[in-house]
Structure 1
Amino acid sequence: MPRNIALGLLPVLILTACGTPQERCIGRNTSEYRTVSRLLAEVEGNLARGYAWEERQVVRTEVDDCPYFFVDRDGNRRVAYRTCLRDVTDIERYRVPIDPASETRKRDNLVERKKALTPSAVNAVNTCKAAFPEEKKG
């Protein structure tokens, strides 16, 4: 079990190691602000369009050439191809009707939340820049 946890966390640790120390610091300390900003942009887009986008997985079957291995008369392993069917999963976007009143309330709440988070996000960015100054390129 601990091995599985370690293997599961490995991609997270690799992604965390990407970027400069300043970028990692800013990313760590502004994640909620960025999430609220992303949600706000999504809600504003829904209101502008009049509908929301959702995604679903669609499985379709396609014809492909599949390899198979065999041993020839001389005892050598060979590879050949034959026609086969494979399931392929695609992501399909589709429109979903929205309730404009509900979306407006959601937008208003997200605007207020973003205003509340802005001072701490600005402070975190300034603190990270001071703690991890980057060299100027050029």
Structure 2
Amino acid sequence: MPRNTAILVTLLLAACGTQQERCISRNTDEYRNVSRLLAEVEGNLGRGYAWEERQVGRDYLTQCRDHYRDNDGNVRTITRSCWREHITTERYRVAIDPAAEQRKRDNLASRKAQLSAQAAAAVQACKAAYPEQG
């Protein structure tokens, strides 16, 4: 695990902007995606359910202002009650098939192990191509 932890720390640091960091980020994208998906599946198995998100619109009563010109050309404002919609994201639980999640976990863990060596090689290549000026 320490080797994976070192790679992960290196990958997290890649979110910044030097040429070396951009190179590392670009060349380890699949490894990071697989790692994220594996963590999500392991979380689902640990909880016994998955989380999903949906957009929900809720109406609320508020004050609206309407502007108009009177007969003399002056701008007048009328305040009135009106309904507005507010969109929020809510999380909800979704049942999982534990056997399917375990197969997913096993496949992702295998893929992560394959990508680990490639990611380490890419990090070393990027460090060689773009040495940091200390």
Do both share a fold (TM > 0.5)?
yes
Unaligned runs of 5+ in 2: 1-15
Deviation at 1:134, TM superposition (A): 2.6
Structure 1 stretches of 5 or more lacking a match? 1-17
Counterpart for residue 75 of structure 1: 73
The alpha carbon displacement at 1:45 in A equals: 0.3
**Which position in structure 2 is the counterpart of 1:133?**
131
1:66, distance to aligned residue in structure 2 (A): 2.3
Counterpart secondary structure, 2:73? coil
* Mapping of residues 110-121 of structure 1, within 5 Å: 110-121=108-119
Range with bigger deviation, 61-70 or 36-45:
61-70
User: 1:131 deviation in Å?
Assistant: 1.8
- CA separation of 1:70/1:106 partners in 2, compared to 1, >3 Å: closer, same or farther? same
Q: TM-score, normalised by structure 2?
A: 0.80
How do residues 4-83 of structure 1 correspond to structure 2 at under 5 angstroms?
Answer: 19-83=17-81
2:101 aligned residue (55, 79, 103): 103
- The one-letter amino acid of 1:76's match is N
Paired-residue identity, %: 62
Secondary structure of 2:133's aligned partner = coil
CA offsets, 1:36-95, max 9 Å, x none? 000000000001111100111111101122232212454233445322101111111111
Q: Moved runs in structure 1, 4+ residues, more than 6 A?
A: none
Q: Residue type of the partner of 1:40?
A: L
- What TM-score does the superposition give when structure 1 sets the normalisation length? 0.77
For these two proteins, the number of residue pairs brought into alignment is 119
